[in-house]
Amino acid sequence: MDTSSWKDKYVDQLSILELAYAHLGNAGSYTVKGGILKSILPITLQEINHARYMEYSKNFVPVVSAFGVVEQIGFTYKRTDMIEFSNPKASSINKALYYFAGFEEGNEDVKALYALRNSFLHNASLLAKALHQNKPSYYFQFDRQIDALVKYPDVAWNGDISTFKPQYTTLINPEKVIDLAKIIVDSALGCLQSGVLEVDLEFGEKELFYRFLKLYTD
């Protein structure tokens, strides 16, 4: 998208797709009439990239932050060239993985990622015990050597801690989880440039601006 004309526009004169580009674009900051428009996304991705290579921040911090980015995209955008996600109230993670990472609805890896996100976010644990019998439970361990995003045990854990055995462990590669954040942002940006991205926010431009953008005035 050509942003050269933005310098002659106030923020409230930008279209919703122009604001989406400001949010998703790699530059991170754009000159508009009256100031500089900046997005939270590039800063967040830079912090994730920094934390992932530090010994004392490479496990929890970048993974949780990556989930935050994935949720942000799934909360904000969808695609006009795909069948709409069947449950409009579904998790933003599920929507982002469906629209922008090629995962089908109900995919087992999506279930595992959603469980890891909840367990990490709520109690900083790798044990995810389902609250409902029809949902899977997991005992995760990080393994950066596996080729897959998730490697499942031969026998799934039933969620009963009293009978848990190490062979019920599900391995997950945190590097691949972290990579999903940038993959999904880039995919959404590509959809915008291809004309198939839709902003899915109730209050449109105003909500997109106040949630994820900031104007630094002259």
Residues in the chain: 218
Backbone angles phi, psi at 39, to 5 degrees: -110, 150
In 3D space, the residue among 48, 81, 86 whose CA is nearest the CA of residue 187 turns out to be: 81
Which is nearest to 209 in space by CA: 56, 10, 69, 8?
10
Entry pTM:
0.94
Q: Per residue of the chain (218 residues), what is the pLDDT tens digit? A: 999 999 999 999 999 999 999 999 988 899 999 999 999 999 999 999 999 999 999 999 999 999 999 999 999 999 999 999 999 999 999 999 999 999 999 999 999 999 999 999 999 999 999 988 888 999 999 999 999 999 999 999 999 999 999 999 999 999 999 999 999 999 999 999 999 999 999 999 999 999 999 999 97
Residue ranges covered by each domain of the chain: 4-217
CA atoms within 13 A on the CB side of 66: 28
